[in-house]
């Protein structure tokens, strides 16, 4: 159990693997009640079952963050199962890496739908509850790609920087009613790179990730740190990356 986390109800998107899974498992060990969403129901069910077997509290449902009604269902599940929602973690994300001139319009749309609109849908689902409660916490998983701009990552970095901008505006608008945290991971040991369609860039990024990436638990610990702070302390931005990452 961990002070500041125990008893809190936390919803997490993209929770079937990687950062989402590590965060769910860590927060459950710290005493949070986790409500998990992902598209891969078999993996999600296994994670929920393992948390319950270890004495934690968890629930899950199949959800696609590009469907705003799915995020509403996630918040409803939190309310019906645990009676409230304290934290919404918008973690689901996707990257498709190409030079702009290659016109991967399908990839652009996918990243906008998942990384940007998916985060907005999570915010939209949670804010009415936070306003009614008078408290809450939005945590958006962003990326170091939006800090250091490089070729092939223009649209991916663009979606992440949009989330960064939205997070800061949302923080200021809250005037203390809810907290907002942005966490930007660098290379992390997840399945993230394997979903890149561009074979050459997938291999290049995989090689680099294999060499320097840090465990997803490092990001989960950053999430836990932000949540565990007293209610009047808002951790705005955290960057967590390998020491060897440029």
DSSP calls for 29-46: HTT-EEEEEES-HHHHHH
Q: Are 80 and 11 in contact (CB under 8 A)?
A: no
Residue ranges with strand state E in the chain: 9-12, 33-38, 57-62, 87-90, 137-141, 179-185, 237-240
> Which position among 30, 98, 121, 156 bears the catalytic label?
156
Residue 215 tokens read as 């465990």
Cα maximum dimension of the chain: 52
Q: At 128, list the tokens.
A: 């009415």
What the block records as the tokens of 74 is 């996630």
Residue 30 is a catalytic residue: no
Taking the C-alpha atoms of residue 82 and residue 224, their distance in angstroms, rounded to an integer, is 20
> Strand 137-141 and strand 9-12: pairing?
unpaired
Give SS3 for 137: strand
Show which residues are catalytic. Answer: 156
């Amino acid at each position: 159990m961990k002070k500041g986390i125990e008893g809190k109800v936390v919803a997490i998107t993209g929770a079937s693997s990687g950062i989402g899974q590590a965060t769910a498992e860590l927060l459950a060990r710290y005493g949070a009640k986790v409500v998990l969403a992902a598209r891969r129901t078999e993996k999600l069910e296994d994670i929920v079952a393992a948390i319950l077997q270890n004495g934690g509290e968890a629930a899950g449902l199949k959800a696609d963050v590009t469907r705003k009604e799915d995020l509403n269902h996630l918040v409803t599940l939190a309310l019906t199962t645990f009676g409230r929602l304290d934290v919404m973690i918008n973690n689901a994300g996707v990257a498709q890496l190409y030079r702009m001139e290659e016109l991967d319009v399908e990839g652009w749309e996918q990243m906008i739908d998942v990384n940007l609109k998916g985060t907005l849908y999570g915010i939209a689902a949670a804010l009415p509850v936070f306003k009614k409660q008078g408290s809450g916490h939005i945590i958006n998983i962003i990326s170091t790609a939006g800090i250091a701009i490089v070729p092939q990552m223009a649209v991916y970095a663009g979606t992440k920087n949009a989330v960064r901008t939205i997070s800061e505006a949302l923080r200021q608008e809250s005037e203390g009613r809810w907290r907002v945290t942005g966490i930007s991971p660098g290379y992390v040991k997840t399945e993230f790179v394997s979903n890149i369609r561009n074979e050459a860039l997938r291999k290049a990024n995989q090689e680099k990730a294999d060499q320097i990436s840090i465990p997803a638990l490092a990001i989960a610990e950053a999430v836990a740190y932000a949540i565990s702070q007293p209610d009047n302390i808002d951790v705005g931005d955290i960057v967590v990356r390998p020491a060897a990452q440029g």
